[in-house]
Amino acid sequence: MRGNITPEGMTKFISDLELSLESATVLVISWQLNAASMGYFTREEWMTGMENLNVWTLPQLKAKIPEFELVPQDPVQFKELYRYSFGYVKSKGQKCLDVDTAIIMWGLLLGNQSSHVESFATFLTEKQPVKVINRDQWQSFLEFATTVSDDFHDYDEMSAWPVLFDDFVEWKRERLDPMQS
């Protein structure tokens, strides 16, 4: 499509901003521009997003990077970014994320905020209980990762958590206390 930014153009754009492709700031910029697909900006997304940001040049956008870097520290904005990222990174036409993509995104978005990220990734990789992560599991993981304690004493199996989380907690508790099983 003419006028769209493709993955090659995105790589140059990110380089021009002096950011890493693996930076959460790149995700924030895509969210700010309301990009529908990872690695692409349509002309309309670009024009509307830049107008909404009141940005007309690369130096102006670069000057906003410190503001974008604060998004993960604002709970309301971060929750919006987290919700947006599911649709942004899933393959077009799919309803779910493959597990590997979800693990990468959880590391990018939540890596330092929750000890559950690494152990949940290990659980998904070792036990392979699912091949994909659905939207409900994705959305629920943010709350799980930020509210459930490391030892799971406050985890309520009777709550409306996805079954996958019940399985994870059981697996993790067995590792924390092998005599429990």
pLDDT, tens digit, 9 for 90 and up, residues 50-72: 999 999 999 999 999 999 999 99
The highest-level CATH class for domain 7-69 is: mainly alpha
Domain extents for the chain? Answer: 7-69, 75-180
* Element holding 97 (H helix, E strand): strand 97-98
Q: What is the pLDDT of residue 137?
A: 98
Greatest mean pLDDT among 18-22, 36-40, 79-83, 171-175: 79-83
Write down the architecture of domain 75-180 according to CATH.
Answer: Orthogonal Bundle (1.10)
The SS3 call for residue 44 is helix
Q: What is the pLDDT of residue 135?
A: 97
pLDDT, tens digit, 9 for 90 and up, residues 121-154: 999 999 999 999 999 999 999 999 999 999 999 9
Residue 24 near residue 109 (C-beta atoms within 8 A): yes
pLDDT, tens digit, 9 for 90 and up, residues 17-53: 999 988 999 999 999 999 999 999 999 999 999 999 9
Could you check whether 7-69 and 75-180 share the same CATH topology?
yes
Q: Quote the CA–CA distance of 105 and 111 in Å, as a whole number.
A: 9
